[in-house]
Structure 1
Amino acid sequence: MGTHLDKSIYVRFLFSVNLRLDIWLQLCWEMVAKMRRDVAKSYAEVRVTGGDSSLHIRTPRGLLIVELPAGVSLVEGSCREAPGTGDEIHFRMRLNVDQHTDDTGALGSVMERLLVQESYCFHCQSCGTRVLEERVFKRVLPLPNGNWSSLVDDWCCHPDPFANLKLLPRAEDCLLGDTHLLVHRDRGCEETLTQELSPSPRPITNKMADGKNQDTQKPNRRRTLVSCKSCTAGLGEAVAPGTLKLYITEVTVRPSVGDSQFDTSLDRSLFLEQTIAARLVELSSSQSMYRFFIQTPDGKALILLWLLNSDSLIVSLSAAMSSTVRGDAVTSPSHRQCSERQSPTKAGSTVKVLYLPCSPSGSTHQDVVDTWEKDIGVHPLDLPQTTCQELLAVLTASTSCLPLSLHSMNSYQVAYMRL
């Protein structure tokens, strides 16, 4: 028996018109059930009882049995009505948690897993083709980030001797940026990678430049784009002769283990979601960063992202009435099309974020965007433009499958990202 913890599970129920039930379980202090009034018109028509690690939810439309995670049980008699909004009926109840572990299997990003004197393979995330020869790094070092150059100017009494120099890796180095790796180009790249110049970008007005509160024009710069020769997916840039900048959202790095084949079964949107979520957690933990501009390499901001917490355990289920669903079956937020094709998986940790898309033609919340642009506490994260758009689709899909009352907070949209 595990030690009893005075915790509970926060559960959000949403009955849709087609009689399917979306359930969210989040470890916190209380459990809240939310259902639409087309399922039950009032609190009196709903009865919630507990079984052996299960919830029995009876409405005029039928009975749903939800199997809770091991060690979780309902405190009998604790279910009560709570203030609701709109077409939703809200309930609160207590759950006992006999044991809970923080080990949810989250591995962190590649930044946390790269080690010196270990052999690694680099694969295109889209098609699984190996794009670099097997590597053993003698040095794995972080790159300075943020407005470090302007800080040097402010703090030092002499000019920065490295202001116009690039930090480039040696042959056996791996330099870590916020969302990319800098590695040395090898001989095999001629067979696995292609290069082409990017179109001439339009000037970008950037109020965050150098941490100052005035508009600055970023100079036009054509970048040398690097793509996978097998599937043409963009992987990064050639930032200097012999140096590759590879985005962690476009390549998969794993230890070399014999002749095992690369697993291409991982869904692209799930990989992107987990990778970005892990980086948000790592940056918030190591550098106390919680607000981010998701932007293109040219400095064009596409998403405002605010990390709220990273200690939630979410379970999302879809099940027909008069059925049994398991509390360890999870629909990943990246698959949130609310459809039959979703594959269940184990419950895992998630991060809760607030976000706002930055419209190219002017945001609906332009005042919020302007405030963030002038705030040096907001950290820019560069991603390829198509990846920024994919990430926005993941966030939007997450929001769409939340109960309506949970879609937004103030002027921001709410989403959960799986670790």
Structure 2
Amino acid sequence: MAAGEAEARVFLEVRRRLRSALLIVGEPKEGGMPMDLTVRPFSLRLATSEGCTEIRLPAEVRLVPSSCRGLQYVAGDGLHLRLQAQAEFSTKPISIFNRSSEAQECCTFYCQSCGEVIIKDRRLLRVLPLPSDNWGALVEDWCCHPDPFANKPLHPKENDCFIGDSFFLVNLRSNLWQEPKANTKVICKRCKVVLGATVSSETTKFYMTEVIIQPSERSFSIIPRSQFVQSVVAECLVELASARSTFRYTIQGQDGKVYILLWLLNLDSLVAESLKCSKQIKKFPLFEDTLKSDSSSSCNAVKVLYQPCIKSRNEKLASLWEGDISVHSLTLPSATCLELLLILSRSNAMLPPSLRQMNSFQLLPSTRITASDH
């Protein structure tokens, strides 16, 4: 099949549950030579008059060459084809806080950005999920008598950690602040990033995107910031979609301002791409912010549509979403909302052009987030 020149970009997206794959071989550049593409179960072979290049598929992916269909040339992208595919469900997303194994252990809370110790050697005896934000209103609807929880807010005790959609609640009475005031920001002493906010004189909220919790015997491990943020947000989306069948989200800052609208498409994508092929065997690199040509891994992706809401963009749509009870809100520090928007934008730019938009939304794939601009 004529596909383009030797240095072609190859993009692969596999849907595990559907057992299907979309394969795109990059558009030929002007002056490029003819290329023959051969699809094999575990690799792709691209041949020109000057030689051959073999691109190995991710180890967990197997294509069915005889199922090739939907072959078409798309201007700006190149050759599109769909095939049956099998991809193993690899390990589950690594939880930022392992509720079962780390309970009962001594844990240390670190600032994710700089590694500063926030809480040292805290033994957590209870690690419990919080109910949804509107649980109080639901109790009022269900009860025929006065709300028994009206004056009993859910505050953790000294050895508790309560887990919300995007935050942890812990008791800091004996830790850092002598007389903390409610609704004040908690800021890292070293790097000055916003870690959370005080909820009461004893309870502090830490955002999952800003804090790493690890067993005290384990040393602090540095995780690239953008990789950490997208992993945490993707994990939040996966858990909310699974537990509450929620698929539309507003990402807002702690000041209540909406920064991003997200529409979840699917949770079962596996994405890989190879930017260039030369006359040697190449592997698909990990599809992340920095592509590593020596990596043979693929990337689990949560695929979303997104709309930015900064600089007065999409104000009417954001207002409609905020008034819709089927839309769930995730609150993060304002700076992290902007980081996430940058991550989505960069991820979107790495997609083949024809996959970057759907209606007015943008679409991107990343390490746990694949997004499309709307």
**TM-score (structure 2 length as normaliser):** 0.84
1:139 corresponds to 2:99: no
**Which residue number corresponds to residue 279 of structure 1?**
236
Instruction: Decide which of 42, 46, 51 is 1:57's aligned counterpart.
Output: 46
Kept after mapping to 1: 8 A contact 2:8/2:28: no
Instruction: Name the amino acid aligned to 1:390.
Output: E
Q: Match of 2:274? A: 317
Instruction: State how far apart, in whole Å, the 2-side matches of 1:288 and 1:275 are.
Output: 19
| Distance across 2 between alignment mates of 1:35 and 1:20 | 5
Residue among 243, 247, 263 paired with 2:221: 263
Deviation (angstroms), 1:132? 0.3
| Cα distance, 1:74–1:178 mapped onto 2, change above 3 Å | closer
Of residues 28, 33, 38 in structure 1, which corresponds to 2:24? 33
SS in 2 for 1:269: helix
Percent identical among aligned pairs is 35
Identify which range, 72-81 or 229-238, moves more after superposition: 72-81
Q: Which residue does the alignment assign to 2:255?
A: 298
| 1:404/1:62 CA distance change after superposition, 3 Å | farther
Aligned length: 363
Trace 1:151-162 onto structure 2 (pairs within 5 A): 151-162=138-149
| Deviation for aligned residue 1:301 | 1.2
- Which residue of 1 is the match for residue 345 of structure 2? 396
Instruction: Output the CA distance in 1 between the equivalents of 2:52 and 2:205.
Output: 54
Contact 1:75 1:93 in 2 (8 A): no
In structure 2, which of residues 285, 303, 311 is the aligned counterpart of residue 352 of structure 1? 303
- Cα shift at 1:126: 0.7
State the partner residue of 1:209: none
Distance 1:188 1:342, change over 3 A: farther
Deviation string 1:315-368 (CA, Å, 9 cap, x unpaired) is 2333343343213x3131xx16x7xx78847324211011111134242xx453
Conservation of the 8 A alpha-carbon contact between 2:26 and 2:77 = yes
Q: CA deviation at 1:262?
A: 1.1
Q: How many angstroms does 1:77 deviate by?
A: 6.2
Out of 214, 217, 223, which is 1:254 matched to? Answer: 214
Structure 1 residues 61, 368: CA separation in 2 closer, same or farther (over 3 Å shift)? farther
State the distance in 2 between where 1:254 and 1:323 align. 42
Letter matched to residue 248 of structure 1: M
Instruction: Return the match for 2:328 from 379, 385, 401.
Output: 379
User: 2:188 maps to which residue?
Assistant: 228
**CA offsets 1:67-118 (integer angstroms, 9 cap, x no match):** 1133755555665673444333333254664xx4312352134265565322
Deviation for aligned residue 1:166: 3.3
Which of 307, 312, 323 is the matching residue for 1:361? 312
Alpha-carbon distance in structure 2 between the residues aligned to 1:283 and 1:81: 34
The amino acid that maps onto 2:79 is H
What letter corresponds to residue 103 of structure 2 in structure 1?
V
RMSD: 3.3
**TM-score normalised by structure 1 residue count:** 0.76
| CA-CA distance at 1:154 after TM superposition | 3.1
Measure, in 2, the Cα distance between the counterparts of 1:84 and 1:163.
62
Cα deviation for residue 272 of structure 1 reads 0.5
Matching residue's letter, 2:281: T
| Map of 2:358 onto structure 1 | 409
Q: Contact 1:22 / 1:318 at 8 angstroms: preserved in 2?
A: yes
- The equivalences for 1:54-133 within 5 A come to 54-58=43-47, 63-70=52-59, 72=61, 75=64, 82-92=71-81, 94=83, 97=86, 100-104=87-91, 106-110=93-97, 112=99, 115-133=102-120
Unpaired runs of 5+ residues, structure 2, are 369-374
